[in-house]
Amino acid sequence: MENLQNYYVIGGALNTLGQLIIVIASIILLIKQRNIPVFLILLGSTLSILFSVGSVFWNMVSAQDGPESLARNAGIVNIVSQLPYLLFAIGLLLYIIMFVKKQIKKE
């Protein structure tokens, strides 16, 4: 049988690489334009990495208390880990609205 763990390691590495690219792009955007939507984009992308790393450690610790604890904590992590993506999405939506308003004023 194949070593299935490699698929998870590669998937995790690609996910982390994508998140890092988004953080770098957010930092560049914040340097160019300092406003609330861009700050929310950077905050959301940064927190998504922190929450991903934190969830791995939290699940490892909770697994030591048994399967019920692991299931409960995995559910909590699933809910909380969506917050950075909401921040990112709100920031992106506000940025797009701001960009469109600027384009309308130019016309």
- Contact by Cβ (8 Å): 19, 48: yes
Structural domain boundaries, residue 55: 5-106
pLDDT at position 16: 87
Looking at the 3D structure of the chain, how many domains does it have? 1
Taking the alpha carbons at both ends of the chain, their separation in whole angstroms is: 63
User: pLDDT digit string (tens) for 59-90?
Assistant: 788 778 888 888 888 888 889 989 999 999 99
Q: What is the pLDDT of residues 16-74, one digit of tens each?
A: 899 999 999 999 999 999 999 999 999 999 999 998 888 878 878 877 888 888 888 88
pTM above 0.85, yes or no: no
- Among left, alpha and beta (phi > 0; psi -120 to 50; other), residue 33 is beta
How many other CB atoms are found less than 10 A from the CB of residue 88? 21
CA gap 69, 92 in Å, rounded? 36
